[in-house]
Amino acid sequence: MTRASGGPTAQPLDTIPFDRVHYVLMAQTGSTTRSRSLILWIVAAVVLLAGYVDLARGGETLAPILLILGYCVLVPLAILK
C-alpha cells in the first residue's frame, strides 16, 4: 500500500536535519529557564515584602538594604531571565 498524500512520515534520527534536532533540544530546556525566572520573581517579591515590613516597623538599616536589593538586583535579574 502506498500513500496518496505527501504527509509526514517517521524518519530515522540520523536523517533529521540538525535545525530540527536543535529546536527539539531547546524546547526541552525552556522549562528550566521559566522555573528559574519564576524562582527569581518569588525571591524578589519576598525580599521586597520583607523590606516593606521592616520599614513599617521602623527599620532604618535593613529595610533600605532589602528594598535596594529587591528593586535594583532581583527584579532586573528576573526580567532578564
Break the chain into its structural domains and give their ranges.
41-81
Here the cell at position 30 is: 525552556
Please give the angle made by the CA atoms of 43, 46 and 49, to the nearest 5 degrees: 150
In the predicted structure, residue 9 carries a pLDDT above the cut 70 = no
Give the DSSP per-residue string, 19-54: HHHHHHHHHHHHHHHHHHHHHHHHHHHHHHHHHHHH
The predicted pLDDT at position 43 comes to 97
In the predicted structure, residue 80 carries a pLDDT above the cut 70 = yes
The predicted pLDDT at position 32 comes to 81
Q: What is the pLDDT of residues 28-53, one digit of tens each?
A: 556 787 888 899 999 999 999 999 99
